[in-house]
Amino acid sequence: MNDPAPSRAARLADVAELAGVSAATASRALNGSDRGVREVNRVRVLEAAKTLGYTTNFAAQAVAKGRSRGVTLVVKGMPDDFANPITAGVVAAAQRRGLPFTLISAGTDPADLVEAVNLARGHRPEILMIAGGRTKDDATLPALVEALQRYEAEGGRVVLVTQEGLPFDTVAYANRQGGYDMATALVGLGYRHFAVISGLKHGLTQRDRTEGFAAGLADAGIELSADRVLIGEFDRDAAYALTGELLRRNIAVDAIFAVNDAMALGVLTFLRDSGDPKRIAVAGFDDIKALRDVTPALTTVRLPWEQVADEALALALGPRGDEPRTTVVKGHVIVRESTPPVTH
């Protein structure tokens, strides 16, 4: 007795028929596009594809379009201490849209980012996202812009998750506003003597957060003198060492603002190791997931990482604008145990 012939693989038309939608709508839903697809239809298409065991032929799509479907995220200077929250946000946003995801981690040197972009161009992804801070003295920017413009000329879409200013669609953080809001919150809790553990001297992210914090203090009548701003690398170990340097100066300090949470954890650890973790209040910026396991719980500026990723993908999947567009995402201060109200 002969074995029955295997049934043929499900086709796009089969998925569309089962979902009760057009083939065009089914194609857009399966490709992760938000354009012209109602949520109820998107869900029906995905359920139909699952029922039929339908899988998208990515190789055929790449040949037809000259592009590999999905998102490639290039992250500059992936931090050693903690998973980058924007990476997790983009992964989640891509999964919700059924988009394949690829990660490329560039080095910390600005030239490494240009090399990583050229590597990504070779893979010809449909969407190329770049995440990571910039420096104001970056001599490689012209080469980076040229590489990204070539990629878009070849049919890809670029979205940056960084500071504003480059000629591409961008999702930016309101870093200066977040620093200002943190200063206002700490002054409201009764603190008056501040120091800042900042990052790389020419980094735009740390510059904006530090300047925003200083502006918030100034509006409250408090000056942040230059000797109260310590600059080093943008990581936990540098912050640990800088906290020791600050305390050896015998400057009166009742609160330290670190410009990211990894650095704030370095500050907290030094204070713990020095034997008096509650003597000085500590605040950070980002609200990374690692804070769930920290005692005392850290006061910080929470950035909505998944919203950032969703905004970036919406720009990439939507129609091109006549000019580069920028979406600015704001954070908000979360007050926790590391900055208790001052009692006199």
Position 59 confidence tier, pLDDT thresholds 50, 70, 90: very low
State residue 196's pLDDT score.
97
Q: State mean pLDDT over 220-249.
A: 92
State residue 311's pLDDT score.
92
State residue 58's pLDDT score.
47
State residue 6's pLDDT score.
41
Per residue in 121-136, pLDDT (tens digit) is 877 788 999 988 777 7
| 213, 298: one domain | yes
| 184, 148: one domain | no
> Which residues, including other chains, have CB under 8 Å from residue 167's CB and lie 6 or more apart?
145, 149, 324
Position 8 confidence tier, pLDDT thresholds 50, 70, 90: low
Q: Considering the domain boundaries, does residue 335 fall inside one?
A: no
Whether 277 has a pLDDT exceeding 80, the answer reads no
What CATH number does residue 101 fall under?
3.40.50.2300
State residue 23's pLDDT score.
86
* Cα separations in angstroms, 327 against 164, 182, 212, 307, 308: 9, 22, 19, 11, 9
The more confidently predicted of residues 39 and 216 is 216
The more confidently predicted of residues 5 and 280 is 280
Q: Considering the domain boundaries, does residue 342 fall inside one?
A: no
Q: Considering the domain boundaries, does residue 2 fall inside one?
A: no
Nearest CA to 128 among 142, 116, 146?
A: 116
State residue 77's pLDDT score.
66
State residue 55's pLDDT score.
64
| 299, 183: one domain | yes
| 47, 19: one domain | yes
State residue 279's pLDDT score.
83
| 221, 136: one domain | no
Q: Considering the domain boundaries, does residue 339 fall inside one?
A: no
State residue 203's pLDDT score.
83
- Alpha-carbon distance of 81 to 79, in angstroms, equals 6
Per residue in 63-108, pLDDT (tens digit) is 445 556 789 998 876 554 445 788 888 888 888 888 889 888 887 7
Which phi and psi (to 5°) does residue 331 adopt? -105, -175
Strands 300-302 and 332-334: antiparallel
What range does the domain containing 78 cover?
Answer: 67-172+305-328
| 185, 213: one domain | yes
Per residue in 134-190, pLDDT (tens digit) is 777 778 889 889 989 988 888 889 999 988 889 999 999 999 999 999 999 999 999
State residue 293's pLDDT score.
85
Q: What percent of the chain has pLDDT over 70?
A: 89
State residue 85's pLDDT score.
81
Whether 11 has a pLDDT exceeding 60, the answer reads yes
Q: Considering the domain boundaries, does residue 22 fall inside one?
A: yes
| 188, 222: one domain | yes
Nearest CA to 96 among 313, 337, 305?
A: 313
State residue 79's pLDDT score.
54
| Strand-pair partners of 198 | 231
State residue 154's pLDDT score.
82
State the average pLDDT for the chain. Answer: 86
State residue 285's pLDDT score.
95
Q: What percent of the chain has pLDDT over 90?
A: 44
Whether 1 has a pLDDT exceeding 50, the answer reads no
- Alpha-carbon distance of 108 to 106, in angstroms, equals 7
- Alpha-carbon distance of 93 to 309, in angstroms, equals 6
| 299, 310: one domain | no
| 225, 114: one domain | no
